[in-house]
Structure 1
Amino acid sequence: MTAKKIFFASDFHFGVPDFRASREREDLVVSWLDQIKHEASEIYLLGDIFDFWFEYASVIPKGFIRFQGKIAEIVDSGIPVFFFKGNHDMWMFDYFKDELGVQIISDELIIERGGKKFYLHHGDGLGPGDTQYKILKKIFRSKFCQWFFARLHPNLGIGIASGWSMKSRLQNNKKEEFRDISEEWLVSYSKDLLAKEHFDYLIFGHRHLPLDIALGSSKYVNLGEWINFNSYAVFDGEKLELRYFEKPDNG
């Protein structure tokens, strides 16, 4: 029997830049999930699955039903799926846990698999700088802010959020480029973390650029995004590597 593998992906950003492009990306992600489900032991989705998400008491944003159905199918088959809260979908509460059976991760998650130690996080608000966002993150995650937003009619609340999303990097199809390594803030964060505790792999999303960087005996990996790269990582029990998905040609 083929050894089961662990898959990691992030930053699907369902919802941008428009309905048509988002639906095409949803089909692509569903095709990827169909391909990996036969060899997956676990699936970790490290945040910004949606470009906006908020759960009202009895209302959720419309759409993305094919993706949700596929996740439910995978969980029902016995494969654990983990959703991390990103900066665009930090307002996940109980819907996905109750309806789909996924496990919601609010911040970091540390796991050990195959004798390797993993540090997992979406990546937002970490490392030096970005003080303004770090303050906003505390506000947006506060119980009062969530309570207040829930008081808004869904048409108004989701409309406001959609306007906010129009300013996002991926809404404007900005393809990220590698900076000097000294300017890669998640690399700096990883180095600081490794000075205190050993991890074999430190895996993040958020940066929107597939990166695989050796840090001594450890490895920093960024998962990229699914508008420009369709990138993900897979751990086969011995090593972790970045891969790129191309939808099979059934024609």
Structure 2
Amino acid sequence: MSDLIVVADSHLCGEDPATEDFLRFLDREGPSAEVVVLAGDIFDLWVAREALELPFHRAVVDGLARLRDRGVRVFYVQGNRDYFVADRYRDGPFHQVAEESLLLQHGGRTIHIAHGDQVNLKDRQYLLWRRLSRSALVRHLFSALPEGIAGRLSLDLERRFRTTNQAFRLEFPQQQAERYAREVFSQGADTIVLGHFHQQRLMEFPEGRLFVLPGWREDRAYLRLDGSGQARFMQVQE
């Protein structure tokens, strides 16, 4: 069994050197893995509608398709800046798009992968926004909007993300993460991988381990699990 790679929070946008770095990362590291999981927020904002697709979106999707063509299983877990990805890409380049979380077996481990934006139950403002913005009604209304209006709404969403609930982003929610881990472990997982918080952490529990991914954008870092289930944080070498 080959490796499993998990990466999150590259927040790619427009004419961005990070996009080229990310594509090189996929081309260099991806083929060495059996599974690649993108744990959300790969773009700074991804409203996955054809009319709103920009060249840098297409370049990354094409890079992921090349990985899949080489036999790598590619999964996506939607983050807080991802909309309609599951609707548009159910048939490729991803083997699966998870709207909440993903459960995989690898190297004898049962691995729960989520973006992490639903860990902190005290962040009620965001959780309410998340439910509303992903409701069936909002999906229907957004799909019916003219392209120009949909584009302006997407920009408004991006501005909202930059200013909403800053207090909850300044400090890692340790107690909330412990509660979340206990709930997930009770359902049979022994390894948890989260993104969202942009800081590398390893939390040990009697039932297993919780890995918090560093933000790829800041650190060019990711998590690699080998065929025996051993996990380690890695950094891209130029």
Same fold at TM > 0.5: yes
Residues of 2 paired with 1:199 and 1:139: CA distance? 29
Contact 2:195 2:214 in 1 (8 A): yes
Q: Trace 1:162-241 onto structure 2 (pairs within 5 A).
A: 162-168=155-161, 179=172, 181-182=174-175, 185-194=176-185, 196-238=186-228, 239-241=230-232
- Superposed displacement of residue 82, structure 1: 0.4
Q: Trace 1:2-151 onto structure 2 (pairs within 5 A).
A: 4-15=2-13, 19-20=14-15, 23-56=16-49, 58-64=50-56, 65-151=58-144
TM-score (norm 1): 0.82
Gap change, CA 1:168 and 1:134, over 3 Å in 2? closer
Gap change, CA 1:188 and 1:147, over 3 Å in 2? same
Contact 2:86 2:98 in 1 (8 A): no
Letter in 2 for 1:225: G
Contact 1:207 1:222 in 2 (8 A): yes
Letter in 1 for 2:219: F
Percent identical residues: 21
SS at match of 2:48: coil
Which runs of 5 or more structure 2 residues have no equivalent in the other structure? Answer: 164-168
| Aligned position for 1:173 | none
- Superposed displacement of residue 243, structure 1: 1.3
Contact 2:190 2:208 in 1 (8 A): yes
TM-score (norm 2): 0.86
Gap change, CA 1:127 and 1:177, over 3 Å in 2? closer
Match among 135, 152, 155 for residue 148 of structure 2: 155
Gap change, CA 1:167 and 1:110, over 3 Å in 2? same
What is the RMSD of the two structures over their aligned residues, measured on CA atoms?
Answer: 2.3
Q: Larger helix proportion, structure 1 or 2?
A: 2
Residues of 2 paired with 1:193 and 1:180: CA distance? 16
- Superposed displacement of residue 28, structure 1: 0.9
Contact 1:128 1:189 in 2 (8 A): no
SS at match of 2:104: strand
- Superposed displacement of residue 217, structure 1: 4.7
Contact 1:177 1:209 in 2 (8 A): no
Is residue 233 of structure 2 the alignment partner of residue 245 of structure 1? no
- Superposed displacement of residue 74, structure 1: 0.7
SS at match of 2:187: coil
Gap change, CA 1:128 and 1:218, over 3 Å in 2? same
Gap change, CA 1:235 and 1:115, over 3 Å in 2? same
Contact 2:31 2:70 in 1 (8 A): no
SS at match of 1:87: coil
Equivalent residues, number: 231
